[in-house]
Amino acid sequence: MDSKSKTSCEILKYEQFVENVLKNDLRLVLERYNEICDKIADLLKIRSVCKMITENKMKSMKTMADLGSNCYVKCLIPSTDHILLNVGLDCFIEFSIEEALKFIDKRSNLYNKSLEILKEKSAKIKAHIKIVLNLIDQLQNQNL
């Protein structure tokens, strides 16, 4: 095997590594990042409802509930003293509004820390992709 074909094999190996490993890792990190962003958005919606309840001293509330597939029904909440929150693994706990706000703040902080970690992972993967692409470019120039 001559040096050109050997270099071509190396280039192919590195290209496959970028496509099959690094880009897949980056896709997974970005998917997780988007999932956490969606969870933060949901928490912010709940926080705004809790604040509205406390600021307006609401004792009951009318709302629309999503049954799925964008099918909504009118609901009457007779008492706004407590709220059920999903604390993970589809386990719901009843909180007072004040407790719910504290829980939401703590959960939001944890999610924001997770976002920072994922940003760092994403940056590292992107840097690895650049390094490998530069190596491929050097090998191609060397092969000429």
pLDDT digits (tens, 9 = 90+) for 15-64: 999 999 999 999 999 999 999 999 999 999 999 999 999 999 999 999 99
Q: How many domains does the chain have?
A: 1
pTM of the predicted model as reported, rounded to 2 decimal places: 0.83
CATH of the domain at 69: 1.10.287.370
For the cut 80, the answer to whether the pLDDT of residue 14 exceeds it is: yes
Tokens representing residue 136 in the block: 């491929």
Alpha carbons 98 and 10: distance in angstroms, whole number: 61
Where on the phi/psi map is residue 26: left (φ > 0), alpha (ψ -120 to 50), or beta?
alpha
Per the CB < 8 A criterion, the answer to whether 122 and 29 are in contact is: yes
SS3 80: coil
pLDDT of residue 80: 92
Range of the domain at 109: 3-143
For the cut 70, the answer to whether the pLDDT of residue 132 exceeds it is: yes
Cβ neighbors of 43 (< 8 A, separation 6 or more) are: 104, 107, 108, 111
Dihedral (Cα; 118, 123, 129, 134), 10-degree rounding: -170
